[in-house]
């Protein structure tokens, strides 16, 4: 469905302001001024700030999950480790291309609220299923016990969210569209190296020695 330019302008303005000032610190008037639209337009499209938030988050996660599902379909013929590496790249690339809203969403998810619980029931459960299944498939031949695998999965999830929770630590590294892509490539590469190590530590150690 084609988006109306003025509607998307409001969503983009809200994402920027929510990122800078938080949801409660942002007024409808602030959003209207940044988007250069009339306040009444926000009421018409979204029924107020809460409706705008819900619409924005729904759009963000629906596009996100569609992107993951398409990637999984396109990589169905790959082995489990390569599929996992692809899903990691897709996640970081998507979050980085929606950087401000990603940071805002992750900040809100750190709070125990109705908003968080609704997201957990709908979108986060689906995201967790894709990541967990692909991760455990990749470690199927590993000699690690189930507890170790669960701890490693927790570490992976942490790496996928850290840039958007501690975004102030990364802001000097990401200043333009070009640096966004460089960040994605370098950050994903470090996660891939970690995956190679936890999946087949003996092989990884041998390969590392050959570079010395």
In a shared domain, residues 79 and 184: yes
pLDDT in tens, 118-150: 776 789 899 999 999 999 999 998 888 999 999
Report the CATH number at residue 95: 1.10.357
In a shared domain, residues 91 and 151: yes
DSSP state of 3: P
Report the CATH number at residue 33: 1.10.10.60
Q: Are the CB atoms for 203 and 89 separated by under 8 Å?
A: no
In a shared domain, residues 13 and 67: no
Q: Which domain holds residue 79?
A: 56-210
Confidence of residue 173 (pLDDT cuts 50, 70, 90): low
pLDDT over 50 at 17, yes or no: yes
Percent of the chain at pLDDT exceeding 70: 85
Looking at residue 151, its pLDDT comes to 96
Looking at residue 210, its pLDDT comes to 46
Looking at residue 212, its pLDDT comes to 47
Looking at residue 208, its pLDDT comes to 45
**What SS3 state is found at 80?**
helix
How far, in Å, are 36, 80, 200 from residue 197 at the CA level? 51, 15, 6
In a shared domain, residues 34 and 86: no
Confidence of residue 211 (pLDDT cuts 50, 70, 90): very low
When pLDDT is averaged across residues 84-97 and rounded to a whole number, the result is 96
Domain count, the chain: 2
> Average per-residue pLDDT in the chain?
86
In a shared domain, residues 151 and 84: yes
pLDDT over 60 at 165, yes or no: yes
Looking at residue 1, its pLDDT comes to 44
6's tokens? 């003025």
When pLDDT is averaged across residues 16-44 and rounded to a whole number, the result is 91
């Amino acid at each position: 469905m084609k988006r109306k330019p003025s509607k998307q302008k409001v969503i983009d303005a809200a994402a920027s302001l929510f990122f800078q000032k938080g949801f409660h610190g942002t007024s409808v008037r602030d959003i209207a001024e940044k988007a250069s639209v009339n306040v009444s337009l926000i009421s018409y499209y979204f029924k107020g700030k809460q409706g705008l938030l819900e619409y924005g988050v729904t759009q963000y996660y629906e596009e996100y999950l569609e992107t993951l599902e398409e990637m999984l379909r396109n990589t169905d013929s790959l082995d489990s480790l390569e599929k996992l590496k692809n899903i990691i790249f897709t996640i970081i690339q998507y979050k980085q291309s929606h950087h401000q809203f990603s940071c805002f969403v992750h900040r809100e998810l750190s709070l125990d609220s109705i908003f968080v619980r609704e997201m957990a029931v709908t979108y986060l459960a689906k995201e967790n299923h894709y990541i967990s299944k692909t991760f455990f498939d990749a470690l199927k031949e590993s000699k690690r016990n189930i507890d170790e695998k669960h701890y490693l999965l927790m570490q992976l999830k942490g790496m996928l969210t850290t840039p958007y929770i501690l975004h102030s630590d990364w802001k000097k590294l990401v200043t333009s569209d070009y640096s966004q892509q460089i960040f994605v490539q370098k950050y994903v590469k470090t996660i891939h190296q970690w995956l190679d190590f936890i999946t087949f530590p003996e092989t990884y150690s041998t390969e590392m020695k050959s570079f010395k």
